[in-house]
Amino acid sequence: MGFPNPSIGGSAVQGALGPGEHGSAPARGAGRVRGRYLTRIAWWLVFIIGVLYFFIPLYGTLDFSLKSKPFLSAYTAILNDSQFVSTLTYSFVAGILTIIVSVLIIVPTAFWVRLKYPGLRPIIEFITLLPFVIPPIILVFGLDNTYGTQPLALTNSDNGLNVLLVAAYVILSFPYMYRAVDTGLRAIDIQSLTEASQSLGAGWIRILWQVILPNLRTSLLSGAFLTLAIVVGEFTIATFLSRPAFAPFLGLVGDERPYEQAALALVSFGITWVAMILIAIIGRNSRSRIRVTVG
């Protein structure tokens, strides 16, 4: 028996050593380098698995869509289909309206709760999580029952149904939008910023619009991305409310024209990504509306 040689065993031995018995510097250095190397390999593995998980289905879809004869006929067919543009436009408009309404509801609520009633946060969080618990089919039947009769018979007109659809999507977007905004609010000292604005004479609307919102830009963008993606791909509510949205159209095409459905999925995927990039660019370029130059 004897004391372990500090130079052998590297970092594993070091933990067992008393003061003044640490491993030699080269051994510690080698252990650290090996640890960093293993960490890097682990990260690359996770990254590669993630990339494969994301791209293999896309590749499968692409491969399937290209099997149509003549070559690329699935793509030309859907691009020439007038319903493709109209349903996609409808879903995008619904998505943008959903984002606007969500921001108008969520930002002041999350701001107020954080600033004045932090004790209410768990309750608000629970409410925003309800869309994960209540399936869209339940939600749409509830909406249909509530708004199918007077005094708020919204299901009797196209505009009424459009309002219901956006309202339902706003509810679906709650978990994503609230979390994004709440995380953003946590990152800034909203109490000091609010009080500083107040001491300078600003009212609540100006504080929200010029001080809080611009500092939530990144959070709002991520919430907006998720909301847009959900709205464009949402099937159940749009179908049951008989709305000319993209997801029901995708389902309809899939029933009769499988190659075209695959092409449609890929094209819509690409368009959604382009839309998200556009939102990101617009969001990055928008600055505070106040501009003071000196000199």
Partner 1 sequence: MAFLELTGIQKRFGEVAAVQNFDLAAEAGEFVSFLGPSGCGKTTTLRMIAGFERPTSGKIVVKGVDITNRAPNQRNVGMVFQSYALFPNMTVADNVGFGLKVRKQPKDQIRKRVGELLELIHLPDKAGRYPWQLSGGQQQRVALARALAIEPQVLLLDEPLSALDAKIRVSLRNEIRAIQRQLGITTVYVTHDQEEALSLSDRIVVMSEGRIEQTGTPFEIYNFPSTGFVARFVGTLNVVSAKVLDPTAGTLETAGQPIRAAGPISGGHSGDSVTVALRPEIISLGAREGMNQLSGVVDDVTFLGSIVRVRIRFSDGSGAISFDTFNNPHLAVPDRGTAVTISFPPEACLVLDRAEIAAAAAPEDPDAA
| Residues lying near partner 1 in the complex (CB under 8 A) | 188-189, 192-193, 195-203, 206, 210-211, 214-215, 217, 287-288, 290-295
Please identify, using beta-carbon distances, which residue of 14 and 218 lies nearer to partner 1.
Answer: 218
Shortest CB 214 distance to partner 1, Å? 4
Please identify, using beta-carbon distances, which residue of 108 and 258 lies nearer to partner 1.
Answer: 108
Please identify, using beta-carbon distances, which residue of 197 and 261 lies nearer to partner 1.
Answer: 197
Please identify, using beta-carbon distances, which residue of 22 and 284 lies nearer to partner 1.
Answer: 284
Shortest CB 211 distance to partner 1, Å? 6
Shortest CB 223 distance to partner 1, Å? 18
Shortest CB 216 distance to partner 1, Å? 10
Please identify, using beta-carbon distances, which residue of 150 and 192 lies nearer to partner 1.
Answer: 192
Shortest CB 191 distance to partner 1, Å? 9
Residue-wise DSSP of the chain: --PPPTTSSTHHHHTT--TT-PPPHHHHHHHHHHHHHHHHHHHHHHHHHHHHHHHHHHHHHHHHHTTSSSTTHHHHHHHT-HHHHHHHHHHHHHHHHHHHHHHHHHHHHHHHHHHT-GGGHHHHHHHHHHHHHS-HHHHHHHHHHHHSSTTS-GGGSHHHHHHHHHHHHHHHHHHHHHHHHHHHHHHS-HHHHHHHHHHTT--HHHIIIIIIHHHTHHHHHHHHHHHHHHHHH--HHHHHTT---HHHHHHHHHHH-HHHHHHHHHHHHHHHHHHHHHHHHHHHH---S------
